Structure 1
C-alpha cells in the first residue's frame, strides 16, 4: 500500500544518529526551586515563594537567585565553610 505522505521515507541510520546526538547534547535548564531567602535575625534560610521568615514572621533580610547562596552565608556566619567532594580524577593527581 502506498504511503499517504507526499515523500517516501527511507531509513538512514547515520541521519537518525546525528538527530539523536543533537537532542542529547542540547542543554536543558536545571530545575528551579525559586528564590533562596536568608533571615539574619534568626539565622535561618529557606527556598520557595514565601518571602517572610517562618521563625520570626518578618520579611527576609536577603534574597538570592542561586539556591545554595543562603546556606553558604549561614555556614560562613557560624565559622564553617562548605566542603566540596573532589572529582575522582583530582584525588589521584594530588597523591
Structure 2
C-alpha cells in the first residue's frame, strides 16, 4: 500500500490531550506533524471517522519564534494502529480540517 502525503512531516514529540466524540479525553504525544495532519501515540485508540479536537503547543525553540505558539485543531481520525514492540499506546493518524492560533 502506498502512502499519500500532503506535505512534509516533522518528527516532533509533544505532549497532547485530545477530545473525541462524547467529550472523552485521551492523553499521549505527537509522533510527527504536518500542516495537514498529525500522527499520535495515545493511551487508547480512537475509532476511524471520529471527530476530534486538540491543542498543540509548538515550543519557540522548535519554530524559531520568541514565544511558544498554541494551535487549536479540529480534525478526524483516518487511521489507527495497535501497540507495537511491547508498547501500551496506540497509533492514531488524524487529518487536521481546521485550525486556529490561540493568543
What TM-score do the two structures reach when normalised by structure 1? 0.20
- Give 1 or 2: higher strand fraction: 2
Larger fraction in helix: 1
Bigger RCO of structures 1 and 2 (CA < 8 A, at least 6 apart) = 2
TM-score normalised by L of structure 2: 0.19
Structure whose alpha-carbon radius of gyration is higher: 1
